Amino acid sequence: MPGLLPEAASGVAGMPAMPPDAVPALSLDGVTRAYGAVRAVDALTLGFARGRTTVLIGSSGCGKSTVLRLLIGLEWPDAGAVRHDGMVLRRERVLEARRRVGYVIQEGGLFPHLTVLGNLGLLPRHLGWSRQRVRERAIELAGLAHLHADLLVRYPAELSGGQRQRVALMRALMLDPPTLLLDEPLGALDPLVRHDLQDELRAIFRQLGKTVVMVTHDLPEAAFFGDRLVLMREGRVVQDGSLDDFRRAPADDFVRRFLAARRGLPGASE
């Protein structure tokens, strides 16, 4: 794969290579990322299986967003290695590797001076796509994201928050990457819009069958999206499994407190 070195592709010398499906789509191998004396990610080894949705959860500052930035090459490890399909991500070819990963951040990160179509077509046009091909792909994705095609000519300021997040997802999907990274994509939305988009996003994930790594601080949202939850604290994994695993066998008191911290409506049964 362009942008990656095949250090792990053939297995250990004298041993057969792992089947392609057994190699994680993305992984961190003993990765540390520090900012001064603070280790945002601390000797972390974590793999993400292809075709599955994994949700990173934890308190603010636990390192979950840093993990996403490391996976896409916006941050670089001080120690350890980031791997895509078992191969080490390298600085000199990171742009090619990023084209295989769609990235969505909170509030979308759209360019305000470009129309929706302009935002969607920025990278494809750089790669030589024709205007017609960009428009056809945009219309296709608008249908997937339940966004009316007439909105393609609008600017981000002329869209609602939910519409901007739909456009951000469409932009991440323009090149049909096998992997999606989403950093609290619904965190800035009002509850009704967030609820609707949760349903739509989960349906899209299941329909497309992509590898998805999502960050949220909201436990119910994490359980709604992910068959696998990874709870982080101080740059390390505290527990990794399903919500039922967390409930049946919490790893420590921090997990118990994290589960108990979700507050329901007064008078509502849990």
Is the CB of residue 102 less than 8 Å from the CB of residue 177?
A: yes
Of 97, 93, 95, residue with least CA distance to 84 = 97
User: What's the pLDDT at 15?
Assistant: 36
What is the C-alpha to C-alpha distance for residues 4 and 90, in angstroms, rounded to an integer?
A: 6
pLDDT tens-digit series, residues 248-266: 999 999 999 999 987 664 5
Is the CB of residue 152 less than 8 Å from the CB of residue 115?
A: yes
pLDDT tens-digit series, residues 21-73: 579 999 999 999 999 999 999 999 999 999 999 999 999 899 999 999 999 99
User: What's the pLDDT at 1?
Assistant: 44
Classify residue 261 by its DSSP letter.
Answer: T
User: What's the pLDDT at 108?
Assistant: 80
Helix, strand, coil shares of the chain, percent, nearest 5, are 40, 25, 35
Mean pLDDT in consecutive groups of 10 residues from the start of the chain, 270 residues: 44 42 90 96 96 94 95 96 95 92 89 97 95 97 94 96 93 96 86 87 91 92 91 96 94 93 59
User: What's the pLDDT at 195?
Assistant: 87
Of 114, 107, 163, residue with least CA distance to 134 = 114
User: What's the pLDDT at 21?
Assistant: 58
User: What's the pLDDT at 17?
Assistant: 45
User: What's the pLDDT at 266?
Assistant: 59
Q: Looking up tokens 């095609």, which residue turns up?
A: 149
What is the C-alpha to C-alpha distance for residues 121 and 238, in angstroms, rounded to an integer?
A: 40
